[in-house]
């Protein structure tokens, strides 16, 4: 099967990581995947180095990686023409858009194969009225969480398939952690944007450091990610005990070095980085918002706190790091929870959906059977 997955650009965001992980899994299963970005990373404010590393990784995994280099997202005719040329080369059996931005160019390109859309968030980034057009283009939708499914059901008029997100096997560890380090490292991973609300983590950093200092311990808080708010966050972080790492291609190594994973988002779809953390055996402290609530069970694999509450965030982090027995139990729980999110199961579920949509389209457009002439002797 030839599978074309479309993203906005090659960046370290959760949706993009999932697409690249799936491409590797599809290729490993004998299919011919291609990952196509609408724009170069630099054209949309993302890191070119990360783009180059991700494209190289996709190609090394046996898939095609290419970018249309669209600088003007409002140039629909130009975008459709560039997309149509790329699709003629890829000759896909199915197209999976992981960005709603791809749908209008796809409508003009008229690919003639099933189209799938995954919206990777519990909030819409476009007017709900856009679904009137999407429903004419899309053959099926994928929901990545209960909240995303609820959102789609309010607007989608095509079948919706729930497929949980997954993380790459390189994050998988076989053993739980017995205890946090004496001077622990706290890690947050994700695009630096308003959604992630990193200023709350900055405000929680000092109370956490003070709480650990009272026990003779120190802490290092690290944020891995780039994005539109990075410059502003760097100014806010000046003088705070927080290290801004920027975009990183070695998040798996950062997870292995960390003692605790934190997510302080105001809203989520289903964060890939949180699955990666669980696969790494990291206890998780996260805000009690959609997506996070489906991943974190308090007392099982982490703690949930109210959003935009730095005091509650600092207290929860200090509590997890301060009790070795509880920490070990949460690490074991993280590994148990992570088993639900294997990339193998995720890829198999996508392949099943693609086969069903390809067959449904074949039957819908199959020519009617030709009536056999009846002999007078019959």
Domains of the chain, CATH where assigned: 2-166+342-359 (3.40.50.2000), 170-339 (3.40.50.2000)
- In this prediction, residue 241 carries a pLDDT of 93
Side-chain-side CA neighbours of 83 within 13 Å: the count stands at 30
Alpha carbon distance 305, 290 (integer Å): 12
**pLDDT at res. 265:** 97
What pLDDT tens digit does each residue of the chain (378 aa) get?
999 999 999 988 889 999 999 999 999 999 999 999 999 998 988 888 889 999 999 999 999 999 999 987 778 888 899 999 999 999 999 999 999 999 999 999 988 999 999 999 888 888 999 999 999 999 999 999 888 999 999 999 999 999 999 998 889 998 999 999 999 999 999 999 999 999 999 999 999 999 999 999 999 999 999 888 999 999 999 989 999 999 888 999 999 999 999 999 999 988 999 999 999 999 999 999 988 999 999 999 999 999 999 999 999 999 999 999 999 999 999 999 999 899 999 999 999 999 999 999 998 877 776 666 665 555
8 A C-beta contact, residue 26 and residue 116: no
Supply the pLDDT for residue 72. 76
CA distance to 3, 354, 358, 369, per residue, from 366 (Å): 22, 18, 12, 9
80-86-88 Cα angle (round to 5): 100
Contact predicate 142/161, CB 8 Å? yes
What pLDDT does residue 378 have?
Answer: 55
- Find the length of the chain: 378
Distance between CA atoms of residues 226 and 245, nearest Å: 8
pLDDT of residue 71: 84
The Cα 70–Cα 40 span in angstroms is: 7
Distance, CA of 272 to CA of 270 (rounded, Å): 6
User: In this structure, is the dihedral angle defined by the CA atoms of residues 37, 40, 42 and 43, taken in order, positive or negative?
Assistant: negative
User: The dihedral of CA 49, 50, 54, 55: what is its sign?
Assistant: negative
Contact by Cβ (8 Å): 346, 164: yes
Only one residue has tokens 């086969």, namely 355
CB atoms closer than 10 angstroms to residue 75 = 13
């Amino acid at each position: 099967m030839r599978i074309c997955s479309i993203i906005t650009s090659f960046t370290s965001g959760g949706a993009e990581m999932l697409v690249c992980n799936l491409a590797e899994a599809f290729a490993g299963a004998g299919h011919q995947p291609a990952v196509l970005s609408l724009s170069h990373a630099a054209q949309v404010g993302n890191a070119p180095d990360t783009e180059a590393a991700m494209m190289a990784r996709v190609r090394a995994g046996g898939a095609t990686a290419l970018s249309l280099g669209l600088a003007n997202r409002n140039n629909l005719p130009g975008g459709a023409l560039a997309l149509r040329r790329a699709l003629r080369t890829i000759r896909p059996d199915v197209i999976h858009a992981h960005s709603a931005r791809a749908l209008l160019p796809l409508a003009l390109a008229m690919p003639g194969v099933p189209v799938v859309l995954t919206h990777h968030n519990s909030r819409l980034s476009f007017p709900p009225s856009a679904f009137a057009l999407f429903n004419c283009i899309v053959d099926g939708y994928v929901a990545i969480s209960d909240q995303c499914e609820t959102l789609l059901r309010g607007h989608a008029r095509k079948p919706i398939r729930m497929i949980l997100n997954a993380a790459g096997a390189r994050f998988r560890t076989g053993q739980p952690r017995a205890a946090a380090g004496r001077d622990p490292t706290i890690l947050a991973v994700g695009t630096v944007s308003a959604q992630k609300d990193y200023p709350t983590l900055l405000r929680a950093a000092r109370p956490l450091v003070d709480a650990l200092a009272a026990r003779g311990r120190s802490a290092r808080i690290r944020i891995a990610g780039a994005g539109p708010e990075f410059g502003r966050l760097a100014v806010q972080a000046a003088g705070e005990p927080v290290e801004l790492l920027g975009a990183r291609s070695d998040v798996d190594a950062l997870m292995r070095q960390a003692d605790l994973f934190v997510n302080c988002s105001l809203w989520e779809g289903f964060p890939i980085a949180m699955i990666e953390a669980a696969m790494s055996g990291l206890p998780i402290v996260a805000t009690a918002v959609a997506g996070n609530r489906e991943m974190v069970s308090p007392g099982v694999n982490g703690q949930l706190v109210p959003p935009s509450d730095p005091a509650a965030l600092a207290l929860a982090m200090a509590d997890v790091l301060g009790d070795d027995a509880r920490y070990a139990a949460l690490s074991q729980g993280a590994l148990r929870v992570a088993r639900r999110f294997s990339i193998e199961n995720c890829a198999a579920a996508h392949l099943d959906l693609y086969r069903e949509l390809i067959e449904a389209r074949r039957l819908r457009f199959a020519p009617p059977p030709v009536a056999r002439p009846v002999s007078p002797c019959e």
